[in-house]
Amino acid sequence: MPMKGRFPIRRTLEYLQKGEVVFKKAVKIMTVNYNTHGDLSEGARKFVFFNIPQIQYKNPWVQIMMFKNMTPSPFLRFYLDDGEQVLVDVEGKDHKEITNHVKTILGKSDKVLEAEALAKMELSNPANFGPKKYFLRECISEVEGQVPHPGFVPLPKEMTGKYRAKVAAASDE
């Protein structure tokens, strides 16, 4: 069976790529302490269930750990690379609020993300031709509407070199 789990949409690429939180380079570890029962922990539970996969997909090098039923109230703790620890209290908050808050304090802003995407695009110019591994096309004949490769479709007689040379020679005489 192709669908596994309660909300198999969480496993789709489309859902994962829609994740908004991309952490700054300084964030190394993220820890979530929450409870399995209780109304106040509901937002944290939903956050863990729905948003953690997205965050991990977007930040594959950040270690994320979940601790259940260790403290009476739920919280998030981030460990940065200079030893600083950031505590975020999430008791009673909704999972969307938690995501937005985390994005504000420790995520890369939209402007930075756009700049990074632009820089990445500049590396691969679609106007360049070359091996398929690095570029889109190898030859102009691969483009729709251009003259096809004579290896696959023979050129019309008028465009071949030998015909033109013959005509030129005939007209010279």
Partner 1 sequence: MLRALSRCHTPVVRLLSPRTAVLIETVRGRKSRTDPKAKSKLGLVKTPPPVDPGEMVVLKERYTEYSLILRALRLEFKEQMLRKKYEEEVGSVAEERAKREAEEHRSLMALNDAENLRMFQNREQRMQKEAEAAELKKREAAILHQQELENYIKEKERQILLLQEEAKDFITPDNLDQRIEEALDNPKNYNFAIDKEGRVVKRTAFQR
Told to check if 131 binds partner 1 by CB under 8 A, we report yes
Task: Quote the tokens at residue 48.
Answer: 């863990």
Question: Nearest distance from residue 22's CB to partner 1, in Å?
Answer: 15
Size of the site for partner 1 (CB under 8 A): 15
Of the pair 18, 142, the CB lying nearest partner 1 is at 142
Among the residue ranges 7-15, 55-63, 98-106, 163-171, the one whose residues contact partner 1 (CB under 8 A): 98-106
State which residue, 133 or 168, has the beta carbon closest to partner 1: 133
Q: Exposed, middle or buried, 114 (CB in 10 Å: 0-12/13-18/19+)? A: exposed
* Minimum CB–partner distance for residue 31 and partner 1 (Å): 15
Site for partner 1 in 60-79 (CB under 8 A): 73
Distance CA(20)–CA(117), nearest Å, equals 14
3-class secondary structure, 134: coil
- Identity of the residue, 55 or 98, whose beta carbon is nearer to partner 1 in the bound complex: 98
- Contact indicator for 89, 10 with CB cutoff of 8 Å: no
Element (H, E) at 75: strand 75-80
Question: Residue 1 Cβ, how far from partner 1 at the closest point, in Å?
Answer: 43
Q: How far is CA 63 from CA 30, 59, 75, 94, in A?
A: 6, 9, 16, 23
Examine residue 104 and tell whether it contacts partner 1 (CB under 8 A): yes
Residue 126, interface with partner 1 (CB under 8 A)? no
Confirm if 32 and 67 have CB atoms less than 8 A apart. Answer: yes
Is 48 or 106 the residue whose CB approaches partner 1 more closely? 106
Q: Are strands 63-68 and 27-34 parallel, antiparallel or unpaired?
A: parallel
Instruction: Note the residues at the interface with partner 1 (CB under 8 A).
Output: 26, 73, 86-89, 91-92, 101, 104-106, 130-131, 134
